[in-house]
Structure 1
Amino acid sequence: MLKLNVNNEVSRLREVVLGTAEKNGPTPKVEACYDPKSIEHILAGTYPQEVDMIREMSEVERVFEKYDVKVYRPEVIQDCNQIFSRDIAFVIDDIMIEANILPHREAEVHAIDYIWNQVAPDKRIILPPECHVEGGDVMPWNDYVFVGTYSGEDYSNFITARTNMDAVIALQELFPNKTIKSFELRKSNTNPRENALHLDCCFNPLGKGKAILHKNGFLNTDEYNWLVRFFGQENIFEITKEEMYQMYSNVFSISDDVIISERNFTRLNTWLKKQGFIVEEVPYAEIGKQEGLLRCTTLPLIRD
């Protein structure tokens, strides 16, 4: 049996699911896409190739091996995009919660059944069908769980709206001893620079009390300001709209002082090193063309 444990985003990582680009399939048609950045690259003829994405993900796997992290991969499904393992499930404390994902992505969830089945039955949760939630919107942070959401009446019009208030309420009931703190995110089906697909596209808490933030990703200034007060202005790296588009906030912490980041994130990586972090720089720009990056492709199972 797997004894899961994830209390926050930065404790020392021991076991993780890393997505896969194997048998990813041909470039999708525009109407099959579920984020505006992928559409942009399809129309421009710059959508990432399978061979490049496999190579990039292998670089991340090498970093995990360097830090003695056990890596699981989803079972490969022919012609299926299985890169973003964060979307399909998430762990809070010792409980694994299956995400209620976009309907046509159901196969991705079953690709990790072999892991799900290693978790004690009383530690596996499937939320009611009205609770929409994806792991990119859910961040355990000790006594808190930060959750990105969208509660507008036009929710159903946004394929980019992935987590609803029903899920926020269900998580609060599931974890009564934690504060589930929700944040309304800015959504756009057509403009990737105005779309925070998930909370980790505009916010990421780091070790040493630091955090990455993008103000425009939040619909509610008060909620953004709450995070600024929570972490302290002096501890925040505020990213620009262009940096959010490049997925600067979507780095991944192996521990309190080790972060995997994209090698082209010069401004961020320089700042992180000045703060005393070890930065493992990897090529991930091709993956990033699908509006997801390092946090999106990883599903932590066990942290110390």
Structure 2
Amino acid sequence: MLQLNVNDEISPLKAVVLGIAKSSGPTPTLEEAYDPKSKEHIKAGTYPTEADMIAEMEAFRKVFEKYNVKVFRPEVLEDCNQIFTRDIAFVIEDKLIKANILPDREKEVEAILHVLDKIDDGNILTPPEDVHVEGGDVMPWNDYIFVGTYSAADYPTYITARTNKAAVEYLTKQFPQKTIKSFELRKSNTVAQDNALHLDCCFQPLGKGKAIIHKNGFLVAEEYQWLVDFFGKENVFEIDAQEMYHMYSNVFSISPDVVVSEKSFTRLNNWLREQGFTVEEIPYAEISKQEGLLRCSTLPLIRA
């Protein structure tokens, strides 16, 4: 059995579900795309190929192997994009919470049943139907759980709005000992530079008290400022709209000292090294064309 344990974003990783790019299906039509960035690349004819995405995920897997992390993979579903496991479930403390995701993607959960079978049933939570939540919007951070949300009345019109107010209330109920801190995110169905699809698309806490943040991803200036004050301005790496678009904040910590990052993120990677991090650089630019990157592709199960 797996003893789940995740209390933050940085403790040494012991077990993870890494997505898979095999049989990810043909390039979607514009109508099938879920986010503005994918649509952009479909129109331009630059949507990533399966072979390129498999190679990128293999590079990520090798980094996990190097650090002795136990890696589970989803079963391959034919013609199904299964790269972003963070969307389908997430772990807080010893509980795995199944995400209520876009209906088209429910079969992705079935592909990790072999992992769920190793978890005590009492530790698997299925939120009620009115609770919309995806793992990219949820970050356990010691006594806090940071949650990205969108609670305006036009929520139903945004396919890019994935976590609602009911989710914030649900998490508050499930984890009464934690402080749930929610952040309103900027959404756009059409302009990728203006769309913070998830909280981890505009913010990421790191080891050594550091964090990456993009101010314009937040709708409420005070909420952005709260995070800057929480980490301290001198500890925060501010990214611009173009860097957010390339997913600079969606790196992944294997431990407090080790960060996996995209190899083209020169400004960020140099800063991380200056702060004393070991940076494992891998190619992941093709996968980023689907508005997801390293954190999105992982579902951490155990951090020591």
Assess same fold via TM > 0.5.
yes
Residue in 2 that maps onto 1:192: 192
Q: Tell me the distance in 1 between the aligned counterparts of 2:122 and 2:84.
A: 26
Q: Tell me the distance in 2 between the aligned counterparts of 1:300 and 1:169.
A: 23
Residue in 1 that maps onto 2:87: 87
What is the one-letter code of the residue matched to 1:8? D
What is the one-letter code of the residue matched to 1:225? Q
Mapping for residues 66-145 of structure 1, pairs under 5 Å: 66-145=66-145
Q: 1:113 Cα shift?
A: 1.1
Q: 1:116 Cα shift?
A: 1.2
What is the one-letter code of the residue matched to 2:70? K
Question: What is the CA deviation profile of residues 183-224 of structure 1, one whole-angstrom value per residue up to 9, with x for unaligned ones?
Answer: 000000000000000000000000000000000000000000
Residue in 1 that maps onto 2:227: 227
Residue in 2 that maps onto 1:263: 263
Q: Tell me the distance in 2 between the aligned counterparts of 1:38 and 1:78.
A: 20
Residue in 2 that maps onto 1:42: 42
Q: 1:295 Cα shift?
A: 0.2
Question: What is the CA deviation profile of residues 72-92 of structure 1, one whole-angstrom value per residue up to 9, with x for unaligned ones?
Answer: 000100000000000000000
What is the one-letter code of the residue matched to 2:151? S
Q: Tell me the distance in 1 between the aligned counterparts of 2:117 and 2:17.
A: 14
What is the one-letter code of the residue matched to 1:140? P
Q: Tell me the distance in 2 between the aligned counterparts of 1:146 and 1:270.
A: 27
Q: Tell me the distance in 1 between the aligned counterparts of 2:127 and 2:192.
A: 29
Residue in 1 that maps onto 2:278: 278
Question: What is the CA deviation profile of residues 242-291 of structure 1, one whole-angstrom value per residue up to 9, with x for unaligned ones?
Answer: 00000000000000000000000000000000000000000000000000
Q: 1:166 Cα shift?
A: 0.2
Q: Tell me the distance in 1 between the aligned counterparts of 2:283 and 2:39.
A: 22
Q: 1:117 Cα shift?
A: 1.7
Residue in 1 that maps onto 2:246: 246
Residue in 2 that maps onto 1:147: 147
What is the one-letter code of the residue matched to 2:3? K
DSSP-derived class of the 2:188 partner: coil
Q: Tell me the distance in 1 between the aligned counterparts of 2:206 and 2:155.
A: 30
Q: Tell me the distance in 1 between the aligned counterparts of 2:192 and 2:224.
A: 20
What is the one-letter code of the residue matched to 1:109? V
Question: What is the CA deviation profile of residues 115-157 of structure 1, one whole-angstrom value per residue up to 9, with x for unaligned ones?
Answer: 1121111111000000000000000000000000000100000
Question: What is the CA deviation profile of residues 58-84 of structure 1, one whole-angstrom value per residue up to 9, with x for unaligned ones?
Answer: 000000000000100001000000000
| Gap runs ≥5 in structure 1 | none
Q: Tell me the distance in 2 between the aligned counterparts of 1:160 and 1:171.
A: 21
Q: Tell me the distance in 2 between the aligned counterparts of 1:259 and 1:211.
A: 12
Mapping for residues 203-214 of structure 1, pairs under 5 Å: 203-214=203-214
Q: Tell me the distance in 2 between the aligned counterparts of 1:30 and 1:196.
A: 20
Paired residues, what number? 304
CA RMSD of aligned residues (A): 0.4
Residue in 1 that maps onto 2:30: 30
Residue in 2 that maps onto 1:167: 167
Identity %: 68
Q: Tell me the distance in 2 between the aligned counterparts of 1:147 and 1:87.
A: 14
Q: Tell me the distance in 2 between the aligned counterparts of 1:110 and 1:160.
A: 23
DSSP-derived class of the 2:208 partner: helix
What is the one-letter code of the residue matched to 2:11? S
TM-score, with normalisation over the residues of structure 1? 1.00
Q: Tell me the distance in 1 between the aligned counterparts of 2:210 and 2:56.
A: 27
DSSP-derived class of the 1:301 partner: strand
Match status 1:9 vs 2:14: no
Residue in 1 that maps onto 2:215: 215
What is the one-letter code of the residue matched to 1:216? N
